[in-house]
Each structure stands twice: as C-alpha cells, then as structure tokens.
Structure 1
Amino acid sequence: MAASDPVTGAFATKDGRRYDLDWLRAIAFGLLIFYHIGMFYVTWDWHVKSVYASAAAEPFMRIVNPWRLALLFYISGVAVRFATDKIQSGSQFAVSRLLRLGLPILAGVIVLVAPQTYFELRQDRIIEPGYFPFYLNYLRLDQIYPIITPTWNHLWYVVYLLVYILLIVPFLPWLRNLAEGRAVQTLDWIAGGPVRLLLLVPIPFIIYELWLSPQFPTTHNLVFDWANHAHRFSIFMLGYFTAKHLRYWNSVGRALPLATGIVVSVLALRMVETFQIVSADKIAPVVGGIIDVLYAWSFIVLLMALAQRYLNRASAAARYVTGAVFCFYILHQTIIIVVGYYLTQMKIGAGGEFLVLTCSTILGCIAGYEVVRRVPFLRIMLGIKTNNERSKA
C-alpha cells in the first residue's frame, strides 16, 4: 500500500521505492519502441522504410511525439536525485555511470548500431551486399558514406544523459543543498495548486520552443544541438529538484482532472486540423508553440498522476520490466531495421507486415535480454543490473 512519505516527498511504498516511476519509465521506453516501429511506416525520414509507408499513422505518432522523450529525461533526473542522495562520493557515482551508461554506448556504436547503417545504405542502394566490407569502412574515421559513421543513432538519449550526469557531478553538494533549501520555497509556490503546476512549469520550455528551436533544429549532434539540450537538460534538472518534494507530488495528483482537460482539448484541436476543418497554418506559430508545450507538460503530469494512483505497488511484473527495459531500448531499433528490411521485400500486406514486425521486435528484445543477463560480460556491456543492484537502487 502506498503512503505519503514526508521524508522523500514522494508517495513511497513500504520499501521506499517509487514503483510508479519505474512503471512510467518502462511505459515511456515501450512507447518509444512502438514509435520506432511506426517510423518504419510513416513518410517522415528514417533509416529504412516499408513499401506500405504512408501518412496514415502520422496523427497517432503526433500524439506521443511532443512528450515521449521529455518524460524519459524527467524520470532520469528523479532517479539521479535518489541515487546521488545515497552516495558520499560524487566521483564514485560518476565512475558507476560511466560504466553503466558508457559501456552500452561503446557496445552500441561499435556493434549493435552498425547493422542499422548497413541496411539503410542497402535500401538506398548506395552499397553492394556484404556486411564485412561495409563494417571495415564503418569503423574508419574518414567518412566515405553519406551517413556519419560510426554513429550512435537512437542511443543519443544515453549519450546526452551521461553527459548531463557528468556535468552536475562536481556540483552535487551544492545542488543537494539547493534542493533542500531555497528550491523548496520556489517549488512550494509553483506547486501551490494544479493551475500553477500546469501553467508555470512550462514557461522556460515555451521560451526555448519559440526562441531556440527555430534557430537550432534538432540534430542529435552533441556539440551543436542547443535547443534540444535546453529542453532535455532543463526537464532532467526539473526531475532532480522535484524528486523529493511532497507538495509537488500532491499537486501532481490533484492536477489529474485539469491535465486531462488540457490534453483532450488539444487533441481535439489537432483532430480538427488533421481533417482540415481548420487549417493549421491559420494558427500563429507563437500560439502553436505555446499549445504544444502546454500539451506535452499536461500529458506528462497526467501520466504521473495516473501512475501515482494506480501503479505504485511492488509486483513481479514491475521487477521484470525494471530490469529489462534498458536492454530492450538498446536492442529494439536494430531488430526493427533488420527484420523490417527483409520483411517488407516479401510484400505480405501492410497489416500482416506490421503484426510480424511488432511480434519479432518484442520477442527479439525478450530473447536478447534473457540471453544477455545470463552472460556476465554481455550483462556489463549492456548495463543490466543484477537483482542485488536493483534492490539497492
């Protein structure tokens, strides 16, 4: 049974763990997997494409697109706060994150992501069949392909997260004092009720969206991705500062009706635009940007409130997905691209292809995780925690 905990500022279970956030992290990663399956079928640029690609699924993709990654970075910030409050040495935490996140990045770039580039180049008919000759060129630093190699592709999230963690490690004592001091008063005011929570928190992100995003389109280039960094680092730090703030989490729960109303209203507006009842270009870009940010934050609050209410309890399923979800994330896109490349050539129909691709991706992730977690070297390289490590987290 969950109970309000004045020490953690959360709705903690008896063992002190936030199972609602564990579930939300798993749900966010799960949506990301389905989103990337969807990218195989829409007209937007992606690594490989189905012969059945069309704009049909794009309205559904737009429902999750504004908030799916923000939610991941937010939960990562919460997790970092809980983890760093348990350690005495910032350097020890930095080394642990370098191993936990850095090794999967290394394994991903060198081994797991390479097939994505190979099949992208094959579908574009830029290279001839033969993975070994391609792989030797893939590892070369001089670029011979129109795609940058080697690359991290979908692992950019892990790269950015590791960089953010390393950036704040030297300031952890100061950040902890700030989170327990002056930041409390500010958050008390911001989280003074559902209206403040939903309308004040998005203000910095609205500024980023209107000012930075037009100047710096998202590239996932670590050095020049300024608008993306502003959004992701800010939501990450918001997670850090709100992780143990009781009034904030109470406001999240109370904001459920209003957040639901905002989400439904914006989705209704987007539906009207989709069917061209009202043309999207009649909405001023400034207004559209504000609406998008309010929608994204409201959806995140909606999900947090629902998870807080219904998912904050221990279960075997929670333990399994908590242990498996990061490995699923590392593996899923390569499985989608490899299976999708061959599957779409069979032309078995859009519905059948989607079903086979989805089942192959899920089963492939499960099989990969079950193998990797039983091999110590592979488990370390893919950042999978042991049962003892998870119980201490």
Structure 2
Amino acid sequence: MLLVYHIAIIFQPWAMLVGFIGTEEPLEAIWKPMTLLNVWRIPLLFYVSGMGVCFAIRKRNWLQLLRERSQRILLPFVFGFLAIAPLHFLVFQEYYGLPLGYYPHAGHLWFLGNIFCYVLLLSPLFFYLKKHEEGRFVQKLRYLMRKAVGPLSVISFFVIEALLVRPRPFELYAETWHGFFIGLLAFFFGFLFVLIGKPFWQTVLKWRWLYIGLAASLYTLRFLEFNLSAPGYLMAIESNLWIFGIFGFGYKYLNRPGATLRYLSQAAYPVYIIHMAVLYTAAMLILPLELSPFLKFLGITVFTGVICMLLYEFVIRRIGFLRPLFGLKVKAGTETRKPVLPKSAGTME
C-alpha cells in the first residue's frame, strides 16, 4: 500500500512540489482512495514501533535496549541519510537535467530519527511501567480497555494535539512538529497497548467493525463536505478509528505465525528503506515510454515491487555486512562455532 501511495504521487500535478518526479499526464482520480490512507498510514508505523519496544524490554535492561535500538534504528537511519536517500535525489536531478550533486538528507527515512528520539525520551517511563506492570495504574488501564470506549478514550489526546498544533494539512508528517507530537503519542500508546495485553486486543477484535464503520463514516463526511480536508480534530478521530479497526482485523487474521508472514515482516523494513530509489528509477525509465498513463502507473508499481523484493532476497538478505545497515539482525550462522573434537580427545588430559 505504501508503494502504491508513493507511486500515485508521481501522477499528481503537484508531484514536483513535494520533490517527486512527476508526469505530464496525471491520473488525479487515483488520489481519491489515497486520501483514505494518508491520515493513518504514518501514525500506524509509530503505534507499531512503540509496541515493538514493549516486546523488546521484556528481556533487556535500559542499556541493552539502547544498544539494540541503535543497531536496528539509528544505524539504518544514519546509513540511509548518507547513502540511500541521496540516491533518489540523484535520479531526480538526472531526470530533470539538473546539475548532479550529492546531498545527504533524511528523505523518507525521517520517521526513524523520530523513533530513536522517542526511545531516548520515553525509555525511563517505559521501564518504570514495566516494573510496576501489576500496579494500580496499569490495572485501571486494563479495566478501561475491556470496554469499547477504552481505545476511543485514547483519541482525545490526538484531538488535543490537532487543536494545539493546528497542522495544515493534517497528513503532512515529515519533519514537522505535528509529525513529531503525533508520533510521540502513538509510540507511547502503542507501548501501553502491548503492556495492557489481552484486554486491549480482545476489545479491538470485538468492536473492529464498529471502529471501521465510524472511520468510514468520517471519511465519507470528509469526502462530501470538506473536499477531503476536514478540520484536524475530525481527521485525528478518523485516523485512530481506522487504526483500531486494523488492529482488530490484524489480531484476528495475522496472529498466526508462519514462514510467509515471518519472511514478509523481515522484508518490510529493508524494502521501505530502498523503495524510493527504486521507485524514482522506475519513473525515469517508464514515464518517457509511449504508454497510457494507467499502464505507466501499473508498470512503475510492478517494477518497484519486483526489484525491491529481488534486491532484498539476493543482496540485502544474503550479504552479511549489509544486513545491519538495513535493520536486519546478523545471521546466527555467521557466528564462530566451537570446533567438534574427536571422541578420543575427550579422554586426553
């Protein structure tokens, strides 16, 4: 969905204004469904990242967590800042005949910097809550989250953020205070949801259709009455309703570990890191072709998806020193193993 979202930007008349390669044959109609995604796709990432920290601290102290998050978040961010994000800007310069220059920047990896800041800011509180997991505060949260209104009460914090920050537009998250604060809230509550455990997951499972229905109603209102740009507080409500509904469906259908899900979950992070450079390359190669705009859109989508997965499978995943640069753990098979001694050696002094 993320690939399709970014590719759809190429076919909008304002693509160049946000640093994307653009086409002279736009497909403005495909942006309508993209506006359904753009209010929740980034907050969802921050929710999931906070959840990941809750899982991580189960077997780590603060120093171990900081070391692990530095390897998984900070290292790919710095590497991407210096070596990955500049690539798609080079393709942009080449496509438009601009002088080629190397410009390190965060680009689409900006959210990694945010996540690492959140780890530093919130870790003391997280370890305190983990230590008092059976305390009164967490128990009250578990009681609240057993009710349909429990997750809905969380939305009030996002509404306050929208009223105070007044983002314009709401879906502009990258390198803005709105993106920082909404990410901080989602990261914090993502941690809490995992800490709370089953009461939260059973509630979103039970009421998932209610949350999705309310979100769809707010999207319809945004579409019909506000030309897709509703007041920030309404978009904050809609955003979280979509996310809670997605959590409910995810808990029902994706809560079954398997080889395919494990493979795709590991591929998601490296593919995200490289996808913009591949996407821009696809646009440079396909946009000049004598094809209809829709076929170009389809071609760029297929090219980007296939090349990203091939790079992951045959390069990133298999070359040991590249793995940590793309947020993957070093393979256990690369560790030094003790030699197996012959049986006779065991009897020798």
* Common topology (TM > 0.5): yes
What's the CA shift string for 1:331-371, capped at 9, x where partnerless?
Answer: 11111012212321224221221121111111111111111
Measured in 2, the distance between the counterparts of 1:58 and 1:313 equals 33
Distance in 1 between residues matched to 2:297 and 2:48, nearest whole Å? 30
CA distance in 2, matches of 1:99, 1:195: 38
- Contact between 1:67 and 1:299, CA under 8 Å: does it hold in 2? yes
**Aligned equivalents of 1:191 and 1:166: distance in 2?**
27
Partner of residue 183 from structure 1, selected from 126, 129, 137: 137
Aligned to 2:55, which of 82, 92, 115? 82
Counterpart check, 1:100 vs 2:72: yes
CA distance in 1 between partners of 2:295 and 2:6 (Å): 17
Distance 1:219 1:189 in 2: 33
Aligned with 2:174: secondary structure? Answer: coil
Provide the residue aligned with 1:259 in structure 2. 211
For residues 158-177 of structure 1, what are the structure 2 equivalents within 5 Å?
158-177=112-131
Which has the greater radius of gyration? 2
SS at match of 1:202: helix
Q: Which segments of 5 or more consecutive residues in structure 1 lack a partner in the other structure?
A: 1-30, 139-148
RMSD: 2.4
Normalised by the length of structure 1, the TM-score is 0.76
Cα displacement (A) at 1:36: 1.0
Checking the alignment, whether the CA contact within 8 Å between 1:108 and 1:155 is kept in structure 2 is yes
**Equivalences for residues 1-393 of structure 1 within 5 A:** 31-44=1-14, 45-46=17-18, 47-87=20-60, 89-125=61-97, 127-128=98-99, 131=100, 134=101, 138=102, 149-198=103-152, 200-214=153-167, 218=172, 220-221=174-175, 225-245=176-196, 246-271=198-223, 273=224, 278=225, 280=227, 288-370=231-313, 371-386=315-330
Report the AA paired with residue 361 of structure 1: T
Query: Larger RCO: Structure 1 or Structure 2 (Cα < 8 Å, ≥ 6 residues apart)?
Result: 1
- 1:262 to partner: Cα distance: 0.3
Q: Which moved more, 1:257-266 or 1:204-213?
A: 257-266
Q: What per-residue deviation string (whole Å, max 9, x for no partner) do you get for residues 137-172 of structure 1?
A: x2xxxxxxxxxx320100011111122112233444
Is 2:39–2:235's contact at 8 Å kept on the other side of the alignment?
yes
User: Does structure 2 conserve the Cα–Cα contact (< 8 Å) formed by 1:195 and 1:255?
Assistant: no
- Between Structure 1 and Structure 2, how many residues are aligned? 327
Aligned partners of 2:287 and 2:168: how far apart in 1? 37
Once the 2 structures are TM-superposed, how far is the Cα of residue 175 of structure 1 from its aligned partner? 3.3
Q: 1:342 to 1:161 in 2, by over 3 A?
A: same
Q: CA deviation at 1:324?
A: 0.9
Deviations 1:109-137 (A, max 9, x none): 22221122123334454x24xx5xx2xxx
User: Residues of 1 paired with 2:272 and 2:107: CA distance?
Assistant: 12
Share of identical aligned residues, percent? 27
- Secondary structure at the counterpart of residue 104 of structure 2: coil
* Greater share of helix: 2
Which amino acid in structure 1 is aligned with residue 200 of structure 2? Answer: Y
Amino acid at match of 2:217: S
Structure 2: runs of 5 or more not aligned: 334-349
